[in-house]
Amino acid sequence: MNPKNLKYHKEHDWARIEGETAVFGVTDYAQEQLGDIVYVELPEEGTEVTAGSSFAEIESVKAVSDVYAPLSGTIVEINEEVVDAPETINESPYENGWLVKVKISEPGEADDLMSSDEYEGLLAEEEE
């Protein structure tokens, strides 16, 4: 089940909004589709990201996948743990496996993201 307190992007990424910042990560569905994650490439702090554009890469035993920003802003922190131990994303996609923290520049973009229920609906459609 996808946590209710998160907002979801159609590319299987999530955002946990905490005031003026948001934490980004990939969903449980995304990590399942990728398989065993072996490498994560994250941008440096201070990097500007734009909603809907790629900001990171995750490499698994199956493929290399882009990670898309659910919201626009400036990266204020990266999760060094996933760089050192990429499998953390497989084990804990919503908790320890977060990717970056971003200072949000366009708070209204959150309205374009999906709720947990809407995201569940998207997954149901993709499985048909």
Q: Model confidence at 126, in pLDDT bands (50, 70, 90)?
A: confident
Residue 46, helix vs strand vs coil: coil
Backbone angles phi, psi at 83, to 5 degrees: -70, -45
The single residue listed with the structure tokens 């500007």 is: 48
Q: Residues 106-118: pLDDT tens digits?
A: 999 999 999 999 9
On the question of pLDDT at 19 being above 80, the answer is yes
Which pTM does this prediction carry?
0.95
pLDDT digits over 45-80, tens only?
A: 999 999 999 999 999 999 999 999 999 999 999 999
Tokens of 84: 């050192």
**pLDDT > 90 in the chain, percent:** 96
For residues 6 and 15, the answer to whether their CB atoms sit within 8 Å is yes
Domains defined for the chain, CATH in brackets: 7-107 (2.40.50.100)
SS (H, E, C) 60-98: ECCCEEEEECCCCEEEEEECHHHHHCCHHHHHCCCCCCC
Q: For residue 107, what pLDDT is reported?
A: 95
Residue 1 has pLDDT above 80, yes or no: no
Average pLDDT of every residue of the chain:
96
The pLDDT, as a whole number, for residue 127 is: 79
Residue 15 CB: number of other CB atoms within 10 A? Answer: 23
CB of 77 closer than 8 Å to CB of 100: yes
| 21-34: pLDDT as tens digits | 999 999 999 999 99
